Amino acid sequence: MRLVTIRPPTLAGSDPQSQRVAVVLGSGRFLPVGVLAELTPDNLSEEIHGLSLASVLALDPGLGAIRKALEQAGAEALEAAAIDPATVQLAPPIASPGKIVGVGYNYLDHIREQGKERPVRPVLFSMFANAVVGDGEPIRRPAGTHALDLEAELAVVIGRRATRVKAADALRFVAGYTAANDVTARDWQGQANALRPGEKGDGQWLRAKGSDTFLPLGPALVSADELGDGRGLRVRSWRTAAAGPQANQPFQMQDGTTADLLFGVAELISLISQEVTLDPGDVVITGTPSGVGVFREPQVFLEPGDLVRVEVERIGSLTNPVTDAEGNAPAGSPAARFMAERAAALDGSARVGGGRP
């Protein structure tokens, strides 16, 4: 099952009151779960209409009630009630996670490109909901960094409250998976080879990885029954530069697979939950493969005007323009063109659909 969070095309912000959870049908059309509740009131309460995906998971961890409702309604009724994806825009599947736990150094090739030793335990760090944006939304480069980097990652969404769970049981607590771009200011992070002469960096991973707009998530939540333990999924990223010899041409940065995770999803959930309780809607970002910009020769850092895309196999891709701190991109740049085309499409959708999901 694929679930998305949608909002009217006229709203670019993250107002939770404007967002709705929807099931992606086989045809690609979106069926809001509130509409599904109207079709099958015996299975779903109409109150589900106003709930976030995290709240839906808290009430229906295995999504069994939604599955039963889909079966009961029948294909024809579902298609008739569904909406055209072009009439809405995607928000992050989990727009405001209660907790976001990142994992560092979880691919051996990424560890090797840094000249580090294999860790005995995963390196964990935290982020907050302010960092989360959806597919198509800008990544804003703060004025104080010159070494912005991208990291394509598999993200795990928790479906059940998890406290001190065993690795053998941990997958029962997974609602599903989505894609993530763990954007990082390498100079703020304290990466020595990202620092200019005289710079020291502050080594603050929270600021380096948790600044506003630094965590694109999406485009959909794919339920755990479809992806199992999350192993064997291809993880890739691309940058379309605004300037330089490769300007306007997508350049592949990363190409890895979750088969190479040092600590798998079950092990991560077990280790984290020993001390940190995980709740429905919490997100675990599992680490990135090699190919990031800071360890390339020459280095590749994101600049306002660039366009970046990350992709996780069987989940989908996230495309985000890079802007300055004020949300601006140079005229004619890949980011500026993308934003103009997206704004025109959303404006057309609002005219056709009335601006309501």
pLDDT surpassing 90 at residue 348: no
Q: What are the boundaries of each domain within the chain? A: 2-91, 100-345
pLDDT band of 350, cuts 50, 70, 90: confident
pLDDT in tens, 89-107: 999 999 999 999 999 999 9
Q: What is the pLDDT of residue 9?
A: 86
What does the alpha-carbon distance between residue 265 and residue 82 come to, in Å, rounded to a whole number?
Answer: 33
Name the strand (E) or helix (H) holding 1.
none
DSSP secondary-structure letter at 204?
-
Around Cβ 166, how many Cβ atoms within 10 Å?
Answer: 10
Length of the chain equals 357
pLDDT surpassing 80 at residue 230: yes
What does the alpha-carbon distance between residue 145 and residue 322 come to, in Å, rounded to a whole number?
Answer: 13
Q: Does domain 100-345 have CATH number 3.40.1390.20?
A: no
Q: What is the pLDDT of residue 355?
A: 47
- Between 12 and 73, name the one with better pLDDT: 73
Give the chain's mean pLDDT.
Answer: 94
C-alpha dihedral sign at 283, 240, 7, 176: negative
- Between 9 and 339, name the one with better pLDDT: 339
Pull the structure tokens for residue 118.
């294999």
- Beta strands (DSSP E) in 210-302 are 215-223, 234-240, 250-257, 283-285
- Beta strands (DSSP E) in 193-349 are 215-223, 234-240, 250-257, 283-285, 307-312, 316-323
Question: What is the arithmetic mean of pLDDT over 330-353?
Answer: 89
Question: What is the arithmetic mean of pLDDT over 265-271?
Answer: 98
Q: What is the pLDDT of residue 11?
A: 58
Question: What is the arithmetic mean of pLDDT over 16-21?
Answer: 84
- Cβ burial 70-107 (10 Å sphere, 16+ → b, else e): beebeeeebeebbbebebbbbbbbbbebebbbbbbbbb
Burial (CB count <10 Å: 0-12, 13-18, 19+), residue 46: exposed
How far from 269 is each of 82, 167, 182, 264, CA to CA, in Å? 35, 7, 19, 9
Q: What is the pLDDT of residue 67?
A: 96
pTM for the predicted model, two decimal places: 0.96
pLDDT in tens, 307-334: 999 999 999 999 999 999 999 999 999 9
- Cβ burial 14-27 (10 Å sphere, 16+ → b, else e): beeebbbbbbbbee
Question: What is the arithmetic mean of pLDDT over 129-145?
Answer: 97
Q: What is the pLDDT of residue 294?
A: 97
Question: What is the arithmetic mean of pLDDT over 159-182?
Answer: 98
How far from 157 is each of 115, 278, 280, 341, CA to CA, in Å? 31, 10, 8, 31
Single-letter amino acid, residue 239: R
Question: What is the arithmetic mean of pLDDT over 191-206?
Answer: 90
Closest C-alpha among 270, 255, 250, 265 to residue 313: 255
Q: What is the pLDDT of residue 357?
A: 58
Give residue 156's Cα distance to chain centre.
Answer: 10
pLDDT surpassing 80 at residue 12: no
pLDDT surpassing 70 at residue 153: yes
DSSP secondary-structure letter at 3?
E
- Between 120 and 310, name the one with better pLDDT: 310
pLDDT band of 47, cuts 50, 70, 90: confident
